[in-house]
Chains A and B, each alone.
Chain A
Amino acid sequence: MTAEKIIFLLTGALILLSALMVVSTRKLLHAALWLVVTLFGVAVLYAMLQASFLAVVQVVVYIGAIAILFIFAVMLTRREMRDQGQQTRSNWWLPALLGLLILAGLVFLILGVPGADRVPAALPEGFDAVRVLGTALVSPNAYVLPFEVASVLLLAALVGAVYLAGAGKKP
């Protein structure tokens, strides 16, 4: 067992446990905070894959913005912070079975991929992943079109939000 494997297993266990807590805890705010733990664990996975940019952006966007938005939505919309009542339905075993089947199928597929147990080669010295990513995002041979389309989509969402917030007000 290498150190990386140990860290990966610990992180994976943390992600699974916190994800389970998100759906099983009765306090809504705790669910939101467990979700933060899950997202942080995913950031750790990115960092282990040498994708430092993704790891940091994961923290900035998902923890810094989206999770905080969730917490606010929970705090502002619910009077009662605890969920009462039953948490499961009578046919809970069916989705559980489906989930297990999908997991088994995925594991089977991944094990079938050639070289799934290989250790990734070390990055060459002086390899700047951020620079490569930045060039790829604006290069016509790579991702400039999807990047621009996504920007236009976000801009449209922004304009829509401003319009909705301003609707009913006279200019």
Chain B
Amino acid sequence: MTFADFLNNPVNFIADWLTGLLTGWGLPDALATILVYVIGITVLIVFAMVLDIGLVWVERKVVARFQDRLGPNRLGPFGLIQPFADIIKLVIKEDITPAGADKVIFNIAPVLAAVSVIALWAILPLSSKIFGVDMNVALLYLVAAGALGTLAIIMAGWSSNNKYALVGAFRMVANMVSYEIPMVVVLLIPTILADTMSVQGITQAQDGLWFAILSPLGFLIFFISAIAELGRTPFDLIEAESELTAGFNVEYSGMKFGWFYASELLHAFTFGGFMAVLFFGGYGGFFGLEKVAGFGWLTNPFIEAAVFIAKAMFGYWAIMWVKYSLPRIRIDHMLAFNWKFLVPLSLVALATPAILHKVLIDLPTWQYALGMFASNVVIASGTIEILRANSRKQRKAEEKLSPQPVKN
């Protein structure tokens, strides 16, 4: 038990030390193990929530840059203390429950919203040694946690006794139920390529060859459906300030609103992390450099965690980039885009690599990668051609319908 041991496997080191300490105090083994697990879960949640506070600052700074302003800059260096001021403000605000609200459900909803996000952290592999659990059904678990988030939003919208909140909740469910389909289909692509559903297995299978290269279309579809699942612009019909005042959370005040806000930001970051895991190699990212003598320290769990968080932060930034650049789309367009475009495309994007993967797997790596990438390019250009032909047809039909200009 030296400092090097701690550096090489921090979680196990601390867990062993704590178990030893607790059993040393005379606790039975089983109880000590349970206590250590509880402490571990608490530490993970606290880490996620503290990161969340940082995310508030990042979000405000980045949106300011996109809108050509400075963002928080008064409290502390670069406005770093601003999120803490926000939290104090939220906590000391009056807690209002609207008349006619269903009190119990009204109060459970923000908790469930946060739980649905924090539950995702159980499977997020920060590094090869720092992770909650390595489940063999991790990708399905991701979908299941999303189902809890939907439930939280329905509960919030319904229990508020406010028609805007209810309409927001209805829209969110339509949104999430439909965009879940392309997401589940696309989640099968890393599953097929890595031959496992565990996130550790998927990360290790991408050693040196990211799945984003093998299936760029899959990544794009996952990106789009992740944004829809998060309910962020252009899919933020759930909030739609100009139509619904603030949507499902309009009646929430103080820290209860804060929970929705915090879980939304953390959810976006978590999905950035899943993008990194599923398509960008997760915590690995040195393309074999770590195997060269003298660079072994690159596989240190702390370095890996830093790489992972950097990648997740990039995904988070990309989601923000889309959010602050695009306008909101109409609900019928949103549903049509999903059912008529994204679902068929995701099925094609799944079937092609599934077959090609088996055909090309015996070739050298670069030919395999090139073949997979080329197949995606073919699908993409075919899709664009079909879309173009469709819009041409539509334009012609509309030209026929529209009245001819009067000649005088």
Can you name 10 A-B residue pairings with CB atoms under 8 Å?
A3-B30, A29-B105, A30-B105, A52-B135, A52-B136, A52-B137, A68-B147, A68-B151, A68-B154, A68-B173
CB–CB A59/B197 < 8 A: no
In whole angstroms, how far apart are the Cα atoms of A75 and B135 in the complex?
36
Given A3-B34, A72-B173: A130 and B151 interface contact (C-beta under 8 Å): no
Which residue of chain B lies nearest to A29 when distances are taken between CB atoms in the complex? B158
Pick the contact of A64: B30, B146, B158 (CB < 8 A): B146
CB neighbours (8 Å) of A19 from chain B are: none
Interface residues on A, range: 20 to 34
CB neighbours (8 Å) of B173 from chain A are: 68, 72
Chain B interface main SS type:
helix
Chain A interface main SS type:
helix
In whole angstroms, how far apart are the Cα atoms of A52 and B143 in the complex?
14
CB neighbours (8 Å) of A128 from chain B are: 136
CB–CB B150/A64 < 8 A: yes
Pick the contact of A63: B34, B135, B148, B197 (CB < 8 A): B148
CB–CB B154/A53 < 8 A: no
CB of B130 within 8 A of chain A?
no
For window 134-150 of B, CB contacts with A under 8 Å fall at: 135-137, 140-141, 143-144, 146-148, 150
Number of residues from B at the complex interface, CB < 8 A: 24
What mask results when residues 61 to 74 of chain B are scored 1 for a CB within 8 Å of chain A, else 0? 00000000000000
Instruction: Kindly provide the distance from the CB of A18 to the nearest chain B CB, expressed in whole angstroms.
Output: 14
CB neighbours (8 Å) of A57 from chain B are: 140
CB neighbours (8 Å) of B144 from chain A are: 56, 59-60, 63-64
Given A63-B148, A64-B147: A33 and B105 interface contact (C-beta under 8 Å): yes
- 12 other A-B residue contacts (CB within 8 Å) besides A60-B140, A63-B144, A65-B147: A3-B34, A33-B105, A33-B155, A56-B144, A60-B147, A63-B151, A64-B147, A65-B177, A68-B150, A68-B154, A68-B177, A131-B136
CB–CB A36/B151 < 8 A: yes
CB–CB B177/A130 < 8 A: no
In whole angstroms, how far apart are the Cα atoms of A21 and B166 in the complex?
25
CB neighbours (8 Å) of B158 from chain A are: 29, 71, 75
Which residue of chain B lies nearest to A36 when distances are taken between CB atoms in the complex? B151
Interface centre among A3, A29, A33, A63 (most CB of B within 10 A): A33
Instruction: Kindly provide the distance from the CB of A61 to the nearest chain B CB, expressed in whole angstroms.
Output: 9
CB–CB B147/A56 < 8 A: no
What mask results when residues 341 to 360 of chain B are scored 1 for a CB within 8 Å of chain A, else 0? 00000000000000000000
In whole angstroms, how far apart are the Cα atoms of A75 and B105 in the complex?
15
The 4 closest A-B pairs by CB, nearest first: A64-B147, A59-B144, A56-B140, A60-B144
What mask results when residues 36 to 64 of chain A are scored 1 for a CB within 8 Å of chain B, else 0? 10000000000000001100110110011
CB–CB B140/A64 < 8 A: no
What mask results when residues 95 to 109 of chain B are scored 1 for a CB within 8 Å of chain A, else 0? 000000010010000
CB–CB B137/A56 < 8 A: yes
For window 118-135 of A, CB contacts with B under 8 Å fall at: 128-131
CB neighbours (8 Å) of B143 from chain A are: 56, 60, 64
CB–CB A53/B151 < 8 A: no
Which residue of chain B lies nearest to A64 when distances are taken between CB atoms in the complex? B147
CB–CB A129/B147 < 8 A: no
CB neighbours (8 Å) of B177 from chain A are: 65, 68
Instruction: Kindly provide the distance from the CB of B156 to the nearest chain A CB, expressed in whole angstroms.
Output: 12
For window 1-49 of A, CB contacts with B under 8 Å fall at: 3, 27, 29-30, 33, 36
